[in-house]
């Protein structure tokens, strides 16, 4: 099925606000085989409880989404089209194509969750990753609506917010995160963000030269790292629209919207006041 790359400012492609020494993930969806080794390794290393393995109605996706106990989530998307690439109908032959992506916290350059946390529980580490300190989190939940990607979640067990730590304890010991270590196809790659972004640009150019015209980077200043976020330290190579993978194309920091809403409300109130004064004088 053909894909349409979102309209973008091409000068922002590959641009990223990564700080010196920032470490992160590049997840290349063209290499993902949906084996879920990353999910298993993440749960095993971080001692996260198992998910409900009941019928979900979402194909092979039994975890559903990122959650308090699911810090890596493999997305399964089945696309069905006819021989021309259009959506199949009962009267036309069809072909099936699978898209797979291992989703994770984006560890934003400017993180909405960190800015919203009132207790200082959410910090930026020396690796420029974003981590929730469980001994400080009070379960207020302010970080949840502040995340443009819907990543953090409150646990029903301890009522605190949880998400990927990018295996901070492993990084602190000179080891790569468990998910990247376990990935058998190198779909998940770990390293300095600047080096990963350069590799992503080279990989996208190579894919496009092979006929995969829809390949692009999600998580730079052009797509996925927009709206004041200034880029993701965990970014992706995609071949379909972001919404297909349940990702927002142009996310914004909610805090920025509050400022605009305040100015709009203030302007409306001011206009109403002026109108009232004019009416009284008339």
54 in a domain, yes or no? yes
83 in a domain, yes or no? yes
Q: Are residue 260 and residue 205 in the same domain, yes or no?
A: no
7 in a domain, yes or no? no
12-22 burial, b at 16+ Cβ within 10 Å, e below that, comes to eebebbbeeeb
Q: Are residue 181 and residue 276 in the same domain, yes or no?
A: no
Q: Are residue 269 and residue 233 in the same domain, yes or no?
A: no
Looking at the structure of the chain, the number of domains it has is 2
Under 8 Å CB-to-CB from 268, ≥6 apart: which residues? Answer: none
Per residue in 26-54, pLDDT tens?
999 999 999 999 999 999 999 999 876 66
Backbone φ/ψ region at 15: left (φ over 0), alpha (ψ -120 to 50), beta: beta
Q: Are residue 193 and residue 205 in the same domain, yes or no?
A: yes
* CA–CA dist 164, 153 (Å, integer): 11
3 in a domain, yes or no? no
What is the CATH classification number for the domain harbouring 187? 3.30.70.20
Under 8 Å CB-to-CB from 140, ≥6 apart: which residues? Answer: 118, 119
136 in a domain, yes or no? yes
99 in a domain, yes or no? yes
Each residue's pLDDT, cut to its tens digit, for the chain (282 residues) gives 445 556 678 889 999 999 999 999 999 999 999 999 999 999 999 999 987 666 666 667 778 899 999 999 999 998 887 655 565 555 556 777 899 999 999 999 999 999 999 999 999 999 999 999 999 999 999 999 999 999 999 999 999 999 999 999 999 999 999 999 999 999 999 999 999 999 999 999 999 999 999 999 999 999 999 999 999 999 999 999 999 999 999 999 997 665 544 344 546 556 666 666 666 666
Q: Are residue 80 and residue 212 in the same domain, yes or no?
A: yes
Under 8 Å CB-to-CB from 53, ≥6 apart: which residues? Answer: 62
| CA-to-CA separations, 218 to 135, 140, 141, 239, 248, in angstroms, rounded | 33, 30, 27, 10, 10
Q: Are residue 73 and residue 117 in the same domain, yes or no?
A: yes
Q: Are residue 196 and residue 270 in the same domain, yes or no?
A: no
Q: Are residue 176 and residue 277 in the same domain, yes or no?
A: no
Pairing type for strands 95-103 and 130-132 reads: unpaired
3 state SS of 68: coil
Q: Are 17 and 109 in contact (CB under 8 A)?
A: yes
**Nearest alpha carbon to residue 27 among 191, 206, 169:** 191
87 in a domain, yes or no? yes
Q: Are residue 202 and residue 268 in the same domain, yes or no?
A: no
Q: Are residue 158 and residue 263 in the same domain, yes or no?
A: no
4 in a domain, yes or no? no
Strand partners, 99: 77
Can you give the residue range of the structural domain that contains 111?
13-251
Q: Are residue 273 and residue 235 in the same domain, yes or no?
A: no
Task: Give the global pTM.
Answer: 0.84
């Amino acid at each position: 099925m053909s894909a349409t790359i979102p309209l973008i400012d091409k000068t922002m492609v590959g641009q990223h606000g990564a700080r010196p020494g920032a470490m992160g993930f590049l997840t290349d969806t063209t290499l993902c085989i949906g084996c879920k080794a990353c999910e298993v390794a993440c749960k095993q290393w971080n001692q996260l409880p198992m998910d409900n393995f009941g019928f979900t109605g979402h194909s092979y996706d039994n975890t559903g989404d990122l959650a308090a106990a699911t810090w890596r989530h493999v997305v399964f998307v089945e696309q069905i089209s006819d021989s021309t690439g259009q959506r199949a109908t009962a009267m036309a032959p069809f072909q099936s194509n699978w898209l797979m992506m291992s989703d994770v916290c984006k560890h934003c350059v400017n993180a909405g969750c960190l800015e919203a946390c009132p207790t200082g529980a959410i910090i930026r580490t020396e690796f420029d990753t974003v981590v929730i300190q469980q001994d400080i989190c009070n379960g207020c939940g302010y970080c949840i609506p502040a995340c443009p990607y819907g990543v953090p979640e409150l646990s029903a067990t301890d009522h605190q917010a949880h998400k990927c730590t990018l295996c901070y304890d492993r990084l602190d010991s000179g080891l790569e995160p468990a998910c990247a270590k376990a990935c058998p196809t190198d779909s998940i790659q770990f390293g300095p963000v600047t080096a990963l972004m350069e590799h992503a640009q080279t990989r996208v150019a190579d894919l496009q030269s092979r006929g995969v015209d829809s390949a692009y980077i999600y998580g730079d200043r052009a797509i996925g790292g927009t709206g004041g976020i200034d880029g993701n330290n965990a970014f992706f190579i995609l071949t379909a629209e972001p919404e297909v993978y349940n990702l927002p194309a142009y996310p914004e920091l909610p805090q920025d919207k509050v400022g605009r809403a305040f100015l709009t409300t203030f302007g409306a109130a001011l206009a109403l006041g002026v109108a009232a004064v004019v009416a009284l004088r008339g």
